[in-house]
Amino acid sequence: MVTIEDEASESVPSAVRESGESAEGRRLSIGAMALAPGDKAPDFDLLDQRDEHVTLQGLQGRKVLVYFYPKADTPGCTKQACGLNEILGDIGDTVVLGISPDKPAKQLKFAETYSLGFPLLADVDHTVAEAFDVWKEKSMYGRKYLGIERSAFLVAEDGTIAEAWYKVSPADTPTRLLAALAT
């Protein structure tokens, strides 16, 4: 579903916005729609582990890996983050951004514990996860809940999705990124 609303509307969360707002001040919100190569990546403005704002639009002109993980400092998320950290020297000027619902303080502890060399962004209200269609119903031990579906997106220099990997495994994220950058 794509909705366009006026700037004054309260229903479009401020964390997600169209990269190039129209002269009329309209904003675009994408939800419940899987992203595919060629789609415009939803822009966002989130705090990193050091309480600094990071926007996707601010990185335009560079490739960006945006990856979503369920919770900082858990086994799968640690494996994924450390795997990406190990290949930072092999990906040129491609930016890596990790996003989870954790608060900046928890992201900072996670980054410091494992000496991660890239920003971890706090999507506490899961607005950005919804825009990328990774906020899903999950089930554990018969209990249903909403949470992050581990996914990764390679965003091209022009702000479009170059690759979309939904339900990616922690171990596959670095290898898929390296393969995509090699082509």
pLDDT of residue 33: 84
| pLDDT of 67 over the 80 cut | yes
Q: Which is the catalytic residue, given 16, 46, 77, 128?
A: 77
| pLDDT of 6 over the 60 cut | no
Beta partners for 139?
144
Question: Which DSSP symbol is given to 42?
Answer: P
How many domains does one find in the chain? 1
pLDDT: which is higher, 12 or 124: 124
| pLDDT of 145 over the 80 cut | yes
Tokens for 102, please give them.
Answer: 């954790």
CATH number, domain of 20, equals: 3.40.30.10
* pLDDT band at residue 9 under the 50/70/90 scheme: very low
pLDDT of residue 175: 97
> For 14-32, how does the pLDDT look when each residue is reduced to its tens digit (9 = 90+)?
444 443 332 333 333 334 5
Determine the Cα–Cα distance for residues 90 and 113; give it in Å rounded to an integer. 22
Structural contact between residues 144 and 110, judged by C-beta atoms closer than 8 angstroms: no
Tokens for 175, please give them.
Answer: 């290898």
* pLDDT band at residue 8 under the 50/70/90 scheme: very low
- Range with lowest mean pLDDT among 30-44, 66-80, 104-118: 30-44
What mean pLDDT comes out for the span 127-140?
94
Q: Is 82 a catalytic residue?
A: no
Domain that holds residue 86: 2-182
pLDDT of residue 17: 40
Contacts with 140 (C-beta within 8 Å, 6 or more apart), sequence order? none
| pLDDT of 2 over the 80 cut | no
Unique residue bearing structure tokens 């990185």: 59
pLDDT of residue 28: 36
**What average pLDDT does the structure give for the chain?**
86
CA 135 to chain centre: 11
